[in-house]
Chains A and B, each alone.
Chain A
Amino acid sequence: MATLASPVADSLDALGLPDFSTETYKDAYSRINAIVIEGEQEAHDNYLAIGTLIPDQADELARLARMELKHLKGFTACANNLGVTADMPFAQDFFAPLRNNFQQALSEGRVVTCLLIQSILIEAFAISAYHIYIPVADPFARKITEGVVKDEYTHLNYGQQWLKAHLDEIREEFEQANRQNLPLVRSMLEQVSGDAAVLQMDKEDLMADFLSSYQEALMDIGFSNREIAKMAAAALVG
């Protein structure tokens, strides 16, 4: 007999929260948490550095940088709370390719590339990752992370506003910087996808959410839909 099947999968895989006390969890957390701490440290350094390229914005950038240090302390407390030591050498290696690109651009005075790397790409990724982390975080980390997310929006917004105001001059450099740096996100994500899975953060969710945030930032800056689709695709097939 023919049945009228629902086309949609019936079951919802309802996972509970992970067990935060297992060695497996702590081991994975030591690397993910280190990445977050290192990310906040580099964000701090990067905003101060960008201030040297746009001196009239130096005060505002210094304010953003201070906020990043506050986040760093919060995430350090999260590790302490779980009795985990962050694997900082791992995190420093992890960020090396992006850091090198940033430093290169900084030394050549390419402010558009610096802003793309720090205030669009890294911030968009951080916001997406934090959002995906919040529902599966331990209660202590959840609270800290929720507070951080609110701040990070102002950072994403800062870069967007500057780039928006200079759209006509930045196009070429922006596209090139996108081509050079966006594929790095995918390889960085691949590196930690196993650890992220232990924390119940799905690789596909992370990438999709990141790309949505990234696209949204590009939309706000004023790129056309076609340019946006093309640029975002660099993360998927680069």
Chain B
Amino acid sequence: MFGLIGHSTSLADARAKARNLGYDEYAEGDLDMWCSAPPQLLERVTVTSPTGKRIEGAYIDSVFVPEMLRRFKTAKRKVLKAMELAQKSGIDITALGGFTSIIFEDMNLLKEERVSAVSLDWQRFTTGNTHTAWVICQQVVTNALKLGIDLATAKVAVVGASGDIGSAVCRWLQRQGVGELLLVARRPQPLIDLQHSLGEGRILSLEEALPEANVVVWVASLPESLQIDTATLIKPCLMIDGGYPKNLDTKAAAEGVHVLKGGIVEFWQDIGWQMMEVAEMAKPQRQMFACFAEAMLLDFEERHTNFSWGRNNITLEAMDWIGAASLRHGYRSLALDEQQVEEQQVDEPAPVFVDPSADQTQALASA
């Protein structure tokens, strides 16, 4: 069984979602109430690969909202409690979605002392970063071609290059062969280390890198204050928004600047779930974060292990393996012309909640 740990994009969204699902107490609760609330297993689904293999999974809402990021202890507890719930629910492999993997890494929860009765079995969790990195690389290759950008001579800036996903993307693009890698990140030392390990790449500030780049891969969270002067960008420019949350489209909207949501995949058929509705996917019945898909892939392949774990451990071999599994089980990387919300879907009423305990999860598929 696979699991997905996610969260809402804001307290307001979370309350609206709770209202839709019929959790009135939560819909009316304030931030303090949400801080104390325990994680919830909201939905169970069955997913079938084109190979015929069927797997079952569950979606756990960590009841975390981004407003809690500054409440260190709360954020930490939310992630660990959601992981505990996944483990206690007997889930073999669970992906940490959205901010939960960022919190896990940044707060170094791996080194956390036992916080409660349950000792977490790390083998049961994955950040999903290997698949995310592979998908982002596919998106670069496919969409650069569509825009007439020749990768062999193009300059590709990776913003957040020294991070877990960023460094994997750099290594993959290096093997693929690009004109030049422009390395951008917050802290200088890890960038220098990365440049050293790659044996190539130019370290630049964000302001220096943007006007030079034909392709920009963003795998860092963007500060609210970030301003991009689109007039200085090369046109066409492909921007892959692989960070979380995905808000680049509002900052880099201009003629000739093509912003693509990064690390998103589309499944070959509808999945009977409703959790992706809130993640603002264009086709929520099929599209999802690649990190979530990684948990499904590991379950399809019966490889129940923490495939993506720790920082900068992603190898090209692992990316190749997860990429092959991704294709085999019916996932496709989101492309530029596929991310628009179709009109009919905007007008659709919200699906009716089906109690996951009632074993009617498939009923959602027709909603």
- Cβ B33 vs Cβ A236 within 8 A: yes
Q: Which residues of B in the span 347-367 have a Cβ within 8 Å of any Cβ on A?
A: 355-358
Please name all residues of chain A whose beta carbon is closer than 8 Å to the beta carbon of B37 when the two chains form the complex: 208, 211, 232-233, 236
Task: With CB as the reference atom, state the residue of chain B lying closest to A135.
Answer: B113
- B contact residues around A233 at 8 Å (CB): 23, 25-26, 29, 37
Interface centre among A1, A2, A4, A13 (most CB of B within 10 A): A4
Q: Interface size class for chain A?
A: 35 or more
Tell me if A205 counts as interface (CB < 8 A to partner B).
Answer: yes
Interfacial residues of chain B within 1-49, with CB under 8 A of chain A in the complex: 22-23, 25-26, 28-29, 32-33, 35-42
- Known contacts: A230-B25, A236-B37. The answer to whether A216 contacts B223 by CB under 8 A is no
Question: Which chain A residues lie closer than 8 Å to B107 at the CB level?
Answer: 8, 12
Bound-state CA distance A139–B113 (Å) is 17
A96 within 8 A of B: no
Question: By the criterion CB–CB under 8 Å, are A208 and B38 in contact?
Answer: yes
CA of A216 to CA of B81 in the docked complex: distance in angstroms? Answer: 11
Interface string of A63-98 (1 = CB under 8 A from B): 000000000000000000000000000000000000
Q: Would you call A208 and B36 a contact (CB within 8 A)?
A: yes
Name which residue of chain B comes closest to A6, CB basis: B106
Task: Please name all residues of chain A whose beta carbon is closer than 8 Å to the beta carbon of B355 when the two chains form the complex.
Answer: 224-226
Residue from the list B73, B84, B206, B225 in contact with A205, Cβ < 8 A: B73
Which residues of B have CB within 8 Å of A1? 205-207
Q: What's the Cα separation between A216 and B159 when bound, in Å?
A: 42
Give Cα A138–Cα B41 distance, bound, in whole angstroms: 37
Q: Tell me if B223 and A2 are in contact (CB < 8 A).
A: yes
Is B169 positioned at the interface, with any CB of A under 8 Å from its CB? no
Secondary structure call for the A interface = helix
Shortest CB-to-CB span from A234 to chain B, Å, is: 8
Residues of A within 8 A of B88 (CB): 216, 219
Contact A2 B225 (CB under 8 A): yes
| CB proximity to A under 8 Å, residues B325-367 | 355-358
A236 touches B186 (CB 8 A): no
Q: Give, as a whole number of angstroms, the nearest-CB distance from B225 to chain A.
A: 7
B74 touches A204 (CB 8 A): yes
* Closest chain A CB from B92 CB (angstroms): 18
* A209 to B344 Cα, complex, angstroms: 43
Q: Across the interface, do A230 and B72 meet the contact criterion of CB distance under 8 Å? A: no
For the complex, is A184 an interface residue (Cβ under 8 Å from B)? no
Residue on A nearest B40 in the bound complex, by CB? A229
Q: Hey, which chain A residues are within 8 Å of B73, CB to CB?
A: 202, 204-205
- B41 & A9 in contact (Cβ 8 Å cutoff): no
Residues of chain A within 8 A of B22, CB atoms compared: 226
Which are the 7 A-B pairs with shortest beta-carbon distances?
A224-B357, A233-B25, A8-B106, A207-B36, A211-B38, A4-B186, A212-B38
